[in-house]
Amino acid sequence: MYYEISGQGPSFCFQHGLSANAAQSKGTIGNLTDLQLVVAEAPGHGKSPLASDQTASFDFFSEGWLQLMDQLDIQKSIFGGISMGSGIAINLALRAPERIRALILIRPAWLDAGKPESLTILADAAPYLKQANGQANFQARPDFQAIQQAVPKAADSILGIFGQHQRPELDQVLIDMVADQPFASMQDLEKIDCPCLIIGNDSDPLHPVFMAEAIHKKIPNSQYELVHSKYLDQNQHQQEVSNLVKKFIQQL
């Protein structure tokens, strides 16, 4: 996986969301100080290729992070992520709890089942990525138009999958990741005993707030915070998230 390291101090590994890249990670938590920040791009995203014989999944991405942590000699780390990154963080905390010092879950988008209704539009968009007029055809879909009318900036975010920066394997990554699940059952979350900050926002058709609330109810002693919607005021959202993450880490 392509990765970047900055700063010095306790390790903080952070994972972007589905179809995003390291720029999203750095834009969310890149202003933190007194930490060794490690951001990586999941295979099939950014500068990280996904080989034809590999399948995107939460298990596969989590295993990649464990290998990267071994390579960088990181024995234990705070681990955070946005959306898909939150699912990878939970997967890691259950797979290798001894490697996770604390969790920061921002706008989680999966629970214990694949194909969450809120993300099916991303899987449905995948076949359009390699069509000649794919974006225009996709934008004509009634389900996309409904999101565009209700939350225009969420619709803009979805259209990011058509960006020229995206990798050619993204279509299959979208299908496979939306179909996957980060953990087997909600009861598994009760095994997580490290400090955990969970951040949700409303007015977000891709990251329903009930998912953050449901995860909070199952992880013992977790802290739940509701922030302003990214799709209504991105600057306010980012400032609130940054302040909460800073305070949480300072209290560890």
Reduce the DSSP state of residue 78 to 3 states and report it. Answer: strand
What does the mean pLDDT of the chain come to?
97
Average pLDDT over residues 50-57: 96
Contact 242, 197 (CB under 8 A): no
Residue 238 reports pLDDT greater than 80: yes
Q: Write down the pLDDT at residue 33.
A: 85
Q: Write down the pLDDT at residue 60.
A: 98
% of the chain surpassing 70 pLDDT: 100
Residue 30 reports pLDDT greater than 80: no
Residue 32 reports pLDDT greater than 90: no
Task: Collect all residues with Cβ–Cβ distance below 8 Å to 211 and sequence separation of at least 6.
Answer: 108, 109, 110, 111, 116, 200
Contacts for 164-168: CB closer than 8 Å, 24+ residues apart? 165/21, 165/46, 166/19, 166/129, 167/44, 167/45, 167/46, 167/49, 167/50
Contact 76, 168 (CB under 8 A): no
Contact 28, 80 (CB under 8 A): no
Reduce the DSSP state of residue 183 to 3 states and report it. Answer: coil
- Please give the model's pTM, rounded to 2 decimal places: 0.97
> What letters, b where the CB count within 10 A reaches 16 and e where it falls short, cover 1-23?
bebeeeeeeebbbbbbbbbbbbe
pLDDT tier, 29 (very low <50, low <70, confident <90, very high otherwise): confident
Half-sphere exposure of 183 (CA within 13 A, CB side): 26
Residue 126 reports pLDDT greater than 90: yes
Distance separating alpha carbons of residues 187 and 177, to the nearest angstrom: 22
